[in-house]
Structure 1
Amino acid sequence: MSATSGPSVVPTRDVGEIYNWTELLHFFNHTLPECHMELNENTKRVALFVLYLAIFVVGLVENLLVICVNWRGSARAGLLRLYVLNMAIADLGIILSLPVWMLEATLDYTWLWGSFSCRFTHYFYYANMYSSIFFLVCLSVDRYVTLTNASPSWQRHQHRGRRAVCAGVWVLSALIPLPEVVHIRLVDSFEPMCLFMAPFETYSTWAVVVALSTTILGFLLPLPLIAIFNVLTARRLRQTGQPEGRRHCLLVCAYIAVFVICWLPYHLTLLLLTLHGTHISLHCYLAHLLYFFYDIIDCFSMLHCVVNPILYNFLSPSFRGRLLNAVVHYLPKVQAREGRHASSSSSSSTQHSIIITKEGIQAPAAGPHHHPSLNFQAANTPPTSAPQSLVAS
């Protein structure tokens, strides 16, 4: 991504002799290399295409399942499911923007979709990116608060408070990208390209400000909050003597590790390339490698859209039970229509009822998928194990 990957950075060497953007782009493309490296751009494009496609297909299926399952119970959503639902919606927004970046990389960063889509697509991506990260922070904080706060006032107003927090996150995420998006525009110098084009005289300053704000708001502030509150939650669960305390601790480590692995390479590379030539000086070969692999690192950061549904949903027995309940909810209808013309003798066969418990464990039933008239219902019994629901609700 050209603009999505952050502002392009131009070394200050001989910049005083450049008077317009055409000369600047020519300078960037022809005078930046100071050493020679054999790096295959065609191989990079193929790798990017495959990686984008894999993330798009897997992430689309996962997040749609998460949204559908959690939306069905959103009216009576317990504990932290509201944050999980909103995080899945934000991740789905990121996933839906991937085909544009995939085609842009394949076309050697030529933008063919007009000026409006140039800005809107980047704005849509950034708003959902910040939303996903902020909802992850809210989930970590609220999980600990819910575990430790048993006051009647909190119990009465927690759902209303979560809805207000979710609305505030969406509004904040919609405002944060505006200073950067207003400087993204379509440039028709050589090929039409969607680039970050701040005022020419203050371009370097704008580039540093945008890169620092992206790193601070998207990584440096969320990481300590996610790490601290997840560690506190794990300690509290171990103090309660829960039999699955070790599993909870492993999940907490996975939450923190995935966030660091997905986002640290992106923000570190963004800062190094932004500061290169103005505040720091990278070795020639290192600069070339960072510029070459930047798009791959940027694409790699989107793996959180694939991993988040697994960590916060599919590993939860409760979610797997609700997923099974949602799937089989529609199967009897199809089977019933097919069985309308069956002989009347089949109506005397035994009907079974499968109960999905709060842990997502299915009660025994003989051949449920062979009978057209099964009744599936979710148990309405509230969970008796609060830590189980808190860690993976």
Structure 2
Amino acid sequence: MEWDNGTGQALGLPPTTCVYSENFKQLLLPPVYSAVLAAGLPLNICVITQICTSRRALTRTAVYTLNLALADLLYACSLPLLIYNYAQGDHWPFGDFACRLVRFLFYANLHGSILFLTCISFQRYLGICHPLAPWHKRGGRRAAWLVCVAVWLAVTTQCLPTAIFAATGIQRNRTVCYDLSPPALATHYMPYGMALTVIGFLLPFAALLACYCLLARRLCRQDGPAEPVAQERRGKAARMAVVVAAAFAISFLPFHITKTAYLAVRSTPGVPCTVLEAFAAAYKGTRPFASANSVLDPILFYFTQKKFRRRPHELLQKLTAKWQRQGR
């Protein structure tokens, strides 16, 4: 049994004295984070390498995907610290700055991924529903890079308070790294946490749903062009819609639902300890789903970009042919 490092205090009341077990974190999080690190690090490096070496094919969607992979790569680099922390039973020996940085990188990756996926979806909507609009043609890659700069600024502004609220503390004679905030700041964190969910998830999610509803309506119409190129673009857009919707459903939706519920419950006076423990376990149990986003994003890239999907196969064929010639 251990103190919950996310439990807060109710308004006007002393901190909660609830004590409950979080042994599941030691069993669940290290192997999941290790798998995300082992898969996400090489996959995102491959995505970045392929996009950077294919400048002629650097479309606006590729620019957004490149920034998405950079966000995932930064998060993957922070995972070794979390793996060690949870493998040692929630013991954080790396100092206060590293604690704040790791928590910031998690939420920056989370909300950066949401915004970049929304940009990709909006770009796909414009390409299918307004392909000839002059305001769509204007700007090109330069406009995409400006959008990416704006996204990074927005993400940094949104998530910087997570680095302020996150901190280390002492519990049961060991140092811990608080995920949301120390218990004494729980009620102060509540408005920020809710605002982050609304601005950083609900609004982009609503925009993405609107894009895909309009896109689905256009794809279902039978009066569009029937040329093979047009049909291929429609099929590509449909695949993109399905995969991005799946990424949101798997990675982002469960995490934000359980986090919002947990924030509300832990800030409510008089909640029984068993109820608080259940909501805390549900929230912390969905963190791996949010982390899996770092693996799903590069899979999304290869699934929807045929020209990049061909390149590893072509490279493998060239290497095989070279080895065969040398062996003769």
Residue 76 of structure 2 is aligned to residue 90 of structure 1 = no
Give the letter aligned to residue 264 of structure 1: L
Aligned to 1:221: 203
Aligned to 1:351: none
Q: Residues 204 and 293 (structure 1 numbering): CA distance in 2 closer, same or farther, change over 3 Å?
A: closer
Per-residue CA shift, 1:1-35, capped at 9, x if unaligned? xxxx9x9232539x64x4xxxxx4xxx4xx325xx
Residue 267 of structure 2 is aligned to residue 278 of structure 1 = yes
User: Which secondary structure does the structure 2 equivalent of 1:188 belong to?
Assistant: strand
Q: Residues 322 and 296 (structure 1 numbering): CA distance in 2 closer, same or farther, change over 3 Å?
A: same
Partner of residue 163 from structure 1, selected from 142, 145, 159 = 145
CA distance in 2, matches of 1:287, 1:70: 46
Using the aligned pairs only, state the percent identity: 25
The 5 Å alignment of 1:153-302 reads: 154-188=136-170, 190-195=173-178, 196-197=180-181, 200=184, 203-239=185-221, 240=224, 241=226, 242-243=230-231, 245=234, 248-279=237-268, 285-302=274-291
Contact 1:93 1:124 (8 Å CA) reproduced: yes
Higher relative contact order (CA 8 A, sep 6+): 2
Contact 1:49 1:106 (8 Å CA) reproduced: yes
Give the letter aligned to residue 102 of structure 2: T
Query: Offset of 1:312 from its aligned partner?
Result: 2.6
Aligned to 2:312: 323
Contact 1:111 1:193 (8 Å CA) reproduced: yes
Give the letter aligned to residue 106 of structure 2: Y
Give the letter aligned to residue 39 of structure 2: V
Residue 311 of structure 2 is aligned to residue 370 of structure 1 = no
Q: Residues 120 and 247 (structure 1 numbering): CA distance in 2 closer, same or farther, change over 3 Å?
A: closer
| 5+ residue gaps, structure 2 | none
Q: Residues 261 and 280 (structure 1 numbering): CA distance in 2 closer, same or farther, change over 3 Å?
A: farther
The 5 Å alignment of 1:40-79 reads: 41=23, 44-74=25-55, 76-79=57-60
User: Which secondary structure does the structure 1 equivalent of 2:308 belong to?
Assistant: helix
Q: Residues 328 and 92 (structure 1 numbering): CA distance in 2 closer, same or farther, change over 3 Å?
A: farther
> What is the TM-score when the length of structure 2 is the normalising length?
0.82
CA distance in 2, matches of 1:276, 1:194: 21
The 5 Å alignment of 1:115-126 reads: 115-126=96-107
Q: Residues 54 and 185 (structure 1 numbering): CA distance in 2 closer, same or farther, change over 3 Å?
A: same
Aligned to 2:7: 9
CA distance in 2, matches of 1:192, 1:40: 16
CA distance in 1, matches of 2:78, 2:266: 32
Give the letter aligned to residue 227 of structure 1: L
Partner of residue 32 from structure 1, selected from 18, 27, 30 = 18
Q: Residues 211 and 152 (structure 1 numbering): CA distance in 2 closer, same or farther, change over 3 Å?
A: closer
CA distance in 1, matches of 2:295, 2:308: 16
CA distance in 2, matches of 1:262, 1:320: 24
Tell me which moved more, 44-53 or 281-290: 281-290
Contact 1:49 1:102 (8 Å CA) reproduced: yes
| 5+ residue gaps, structure 1 | 19-23, 333-366, 373-393
Partner of residue 91 from structure 2, selected from 92, 95, 110 = 110
Query: Offset of 1:112 from its aligned partner?
Result: 0.4
Structure showing greater Rg = 1
CA distance in 2, matches of 1:40, 1:193: 13
User: Which secondary structure does the structure 1 equivalent of 2:27 belong to?
Assistant: helix
Q: Residues 211 and 169 (structure 1 numbering): CA distance in 2 closer, same or farther, change over 3 Å?
A: same
Contact 1:11 1:32 (8 Å CA) reproduced: no
Contact 2:262 2:283 (8 Å CA) reproduced: no
